[in-house]
Amino acid sequence: MSSINKKFLSKGIDNSGFGSNSNTEGGRLTNKDGSINLRKTGTPFFSRYSLYHVLIRLPRTKFLLLVFVFYTVINIFFAFLYVYIGVDRLEGTQHSNNFFIQYSQAFFFSSQTLTTVGYGHVAPTGLLANSLASIESFAGIMAFALVTGLFYARFSRPRAHLMFSEKLLLTPYKEGNAFMLRVASKKNNHLTDAEAFVTTAFHVEENGKRVTKFYTLPLEISHINSLALSWTIVHYIDEKSPFWGFSEQDLRDANIEVMVTIKAFDDNYSNLVQQRTSYVASEIEYGAKFIPAFARSEDGSHTILQLDKLHVYEPVELNV
């Protein structure tokens, strides 16, 4: 790339945590949700994953479905055991030679035992049935203790609840151009002492080898006291920028990725929270600027932050 500012080739950061060999990279380095686009191999499947972290980060719908499936499978298993030892050992059940009727009675008795509800109209008789019911009660106590702990951990886990603009904009700024993105808190939490860290990665030829170079992008404002409204993060392309001297076509051809990290203090959690995202070349809009995302209420008593307008922009001419 002919117009790369060569003086920055020796100023790339080496502690990014990502490798520099472009040939080993598969797609973007960081996903939109902030997770790393990486899969690990070389060890057994279960040794590569922490079950706790998987369950904590699982989407809410999938987590609830998993708990329901887990509960159902346990009941199915114990219901088969009750049918195997004989439903007649469960006092209060309806005597029938129909397998479905026997199994349904065993299943519902299992669910009552597992949850320790115990309505009382069905009770185990004999050593074998009582032993099985005792084992199931113990399994139920342990299972629900674990599920309750996971619910609490998921509910109480500090999260930033940030919303990033869908596009990274290259927009006219001052006497030149700048990269801009916008971020806002999408919940009713209040973030203070917010800091932004932006790193870019792009491919260059170095000693005849194609490598990935990483650079920290200086920001116009990298720290704000309160993230009450939306925050437009600006990287001005001047002599201090690794993009200094790039033409618009150079930027399009550079296959760059811009990785963003926001750290802040949440008053409600009384803890630090952070959130990441990234923008690849296809998510950069050239010649555009954001429109305002907040306005005064009609009665003038408060400010309205319109989150649906966080991503909205309009075309503009770039400075040459």
* pLDDT tens digits, one per residue of 126-156: 999 999 999 999 999 999 999 999 999 998 8
pLDDT at 3 over 60: no
pLDDT at 292 over 80: yes
Q: Domain residues for 73?
A: 51-156
**Sequence letter at residue 105:** Q
Residue 17 pLDDT = 64
- Whether 165 is in a domain gets the answer yes
Q: In terms of pTM, does the model score above 0.85?
A: no
User: Do residues 130 and 248 share a domain?
Assistant: no
Question: Confidence band (pLDDT; 50, 70, 90) for 35?
Answer: confident
Question: Confidence band (pLDDT; 50, 70, 90) for 22?
Answer: low
Instruction: Specify whether the CB–CB gap between 182 and 164 falls below 8 A.
Output: yes
User: Do residues 148 and 201 share a domain?
Assistant: no
Q: Which of 156, 171, 191 is the last residue of a domain?
A: 156
- Whether 44 is in a domain gets the answer no
Residue 248 pLDDT = 78
Cα Dmax for the chain: 89
- Whether 45 is in a domain gets the answer no
Number of domains in the chain: 2
- Whether 149 is in a domain gets the answer yes
CATH of the domain at 173: 2.60.40.1400
Give one word for 27, left, alpha or beta, with left for phi > 0 and alpha for psi -120 to 50. left
User: Do residues 193 and 298 share a domain?
Assistant: yes
Residue 5 pLDDT = 52
Strands 176-185 and 231-236, sheet pairing: antiparallel
Alpha helix stretches (DSSP H) within the chain: 51-57, 60-85, 99-114, 126-156, 248-253
For the segment 245-281, what is each residue's pLDDT rounded down to a tens digit?
888 788 777 788 899 999 999 988 889 999 999 999 8
Average pLDDT over residues 293-320: 90
Q: Which of 156, 172, 195 is the last residue of a domain?
A: 156
Average pLDDT over residues 228-251: 88
Question: Confidence band (pLDDT; 50, 70, 90) for 7?
Answer: very low
Percent of the chain exceeding pLDDT 90 equals 52
Q: Which of 140, 156, 172 is the last residue of a domain?
A: 156
Residue 2 pLDDT = 42
Question: Confidence band (pLDDT; 50, 70, 90) for 96?
Answer: confident
Residue 83 pLDDT = 93
**Sequence letter at residue 247:** S
